[in-house]
Amino acid sequence: MIELAQLKVHSSFGQALVAEGAISEEELATALNLQEQSEERIGKLLIDIGALSETDLVKQLSSYLEIPYVTSEDFPQVPVVENTFSVGFMRECKFVPIRMEDNGRLVVAMADPLDRSTLDAIRLYTPYHDLTVVLAPESGILDLIEKFYGSQASSLGRIVEGMEEGEGLTDDEDIEHLKDLASEAPVIRLVNLIISRAIESRASDIHIEPFEKDLKVRYRIDGVLYDVESPPKRLKAAVISRIKIMARLNIAERRIPQDGRIQIKVLGKDLDLRVSTLPTLYGESVVMRILDKSNTQIYDLTRLGFNEAMYGNFEDLIMRPHGIILVTGPTGSGKTTTLYGALTKINLPDKKIITIEDPVEYQIAGINQIHVNTQIGLSFAAGLRSIVRQDPDVIMVGEVRDLETAEIAIRAALTGHLVFSTLHTNDAPSAIARMVDMGAEDYLLASSVLGVLAQRLVRVICPHCREEQPVEPGFLEEVGFPPHLPRRLFEGRGCKECSETGFLGRIGIFELMLMDDDIRRLTIGNTEANLLRKTAIANGMVTLRQDGFEKVSRGETTISEVLRVTQ
């Protein structure tokens, strides 16, 4: 919430934001219209309508005014000066001392660097006449004031305290009243804060869950859910209604699940939030999946965690002219990311690639992507049947869910198409058994399937706090750790970079079963998955756990992580 001192700066700064592409002309016009009605600062209004995050605004203003900015990471751990400025004065003028330089000059972080009267007051009534001003987010300044001089109240706490006690509504309240409440600035700021904190925490999902006595907010970070500071239960209806309005869902309908999406720009990133609501005993549960449209690294196969030999084999498969390549694993194991990486690798001008997905998670230039819509009859099978008529070279089917989809995919592979798809199985050999169970002909599977890749995601040890751990005698033998690998174990002790979790990011562990002559013969004989697995291992297949243990020996993850995802 940046405060600007002069109206002409408001206007010119807004135009500068448009010129930079930070906001659109429509968003600026909306903010200026609201400013005429409320006389609020333009920066605060841009944040309130979701056009910019507070951090983005600080960066843009820093560049515009040519004044350096700082983030909360640059703030001191202890107060710089004490018993000099009143807490009320700092709160009202939104400044805080952050550093004392060797020459006696005081560095002050301000939300409004053009507030000359505050700077004059500091010089006049305190010993600090030499000042250096830097920009900082208002919420960060107020948090630091509370931490050093106040009652430890958080940003979320201040927003809630700023709302009247009666602003919380029950689900039975009037819908129009609920719409009005969900459109008020405090509720908008509260929801924006929940989303922006999730982005800063590297969360992949936001869970908002109502219970009997509280409203719980949790972030899924690196595949694990963590509790975070939550608003009071009385704000349940307002918060959920605000999210439903942003996702263009029906706020009056609370009896059936709904799905929607929110496109928003936070911390300089273009995000796509997939919103799902589900009626529960104490109200609607909301889950927002965060998709970063600007993150192109997810498409790079070399960054997913393949070892050299497996990467070479998988690359050979995806370069084949026809056949089926299956990727298996539970929900959230990174199957779609691997498929996107494979498609990006072979996305050349001489190939036509069409995908049918549920939903389309990321858009890839040069690839025709179709979104499943069962309400109008566009299922995987129906879409795949039409895709084949489009003369594609490569087809990706989001998931093989039934016999009809499996048969069309097999037919496409046998008629000269390269087909990618996913299955929900625990390991690679089980994929063949699953397809046979669906009713697919075993001899057609043997002829069309090129290979099956099973995968999981394990958390990566934080490189900033990684340290070697002692190995207990007999422990490695007990868990089946290969004797030929280096026997050094590492863990992260927890630090600021990883939010004290000891982990930072995730990497894949893989199991690639190639359809060689032995596997084809067993497939035609309708052999059980266990025998397929034993034969594949005998022919050189590296299992998920073995691949995980290799990453443990390299200090990338922990044994407990590998055991957690491969049990």
Can you give the pLDDT at residue 331?
A: 86
User: Whole-angstrom Cα distance, residue 480 to residue 469?
Assistant: 18
Beta strands per DSSP E along 267-400: 269-280, 283-292, 323-328, 353-357, 368-371, 394-397
**Residue 474 is encoded by which pair of tokens?**
């007999």
Cis preceding-peptide flag for 359 (omega within 30 of 0)? yes
Can you give the pLDDT at residue 338?
A: 93
Question: Exposure of 415 by Cβ count < 10 A (0-12 exposed, 13-18 middle, 19+ buried)?
Answer: exposed
CA nearest neighbour of 200 among 212, 190, 192: 192
Can you give the pLDDT at residue 465?
A: 92
pTM of the model: 0.69
Can you give the pLDDT at residue 266?
A: 74
Q: SS3 letters for 499-541?
A: CCCCEEEEEEEEEEEECCHHHHHHHHCCCCHHHHHHHHHHCCC
User: Whole-angstrom Cα distance, residue 514 to residue 520?
Assistant: 10
Contact 283, 210 (CB under 8 A): yes
Q: Using alpha carbons only, how large is the chain's radius of gyration in Å?
A: 28
- The torsion defined by the Cα of 188, 189, 192 and 197, in degrees rounded to 10, comes to -160
Contact 263, 272 (CB under 8 A): yes
Can you give the pLDDT at residue 472?
A: 83
How many helices (H) and strands (E) the chain has is answered by 22, 18
User: Whole-angstrom Cα distance, residue 274 to residue 259?
Assistant: 7
Can you give the pLDDT at residue 461?
A: 95
Task: Provide the residue type at 415 as one letter.
Answer: T
Can you give the pLDDT at residue 277?
A: 95
DSSP 311: H
Can you give the pLDDT at residue 510?
A: 96
Can you give the pLDDT at residue 295?
A: 63
Contact 453, 326 (CB under 8 A): yes
- To which H or E segment does residue 545 belong? helix 544-553
Can you give the pLDDT at residue 216?
A: 93
**Beta strands at 353-357 and 368-371: parallel, antiparallel or unpaired:** parallel
Can you give the pLDDT at residue 563?
A: 92
Can you give the pLDDT at residue 5?
A: 39
Residue in the structure block whose two tokens are 């691949």: 547
Which stretches in the chain have pLDDT values below 50? Answer: 1-10, 151-153, 166, 169
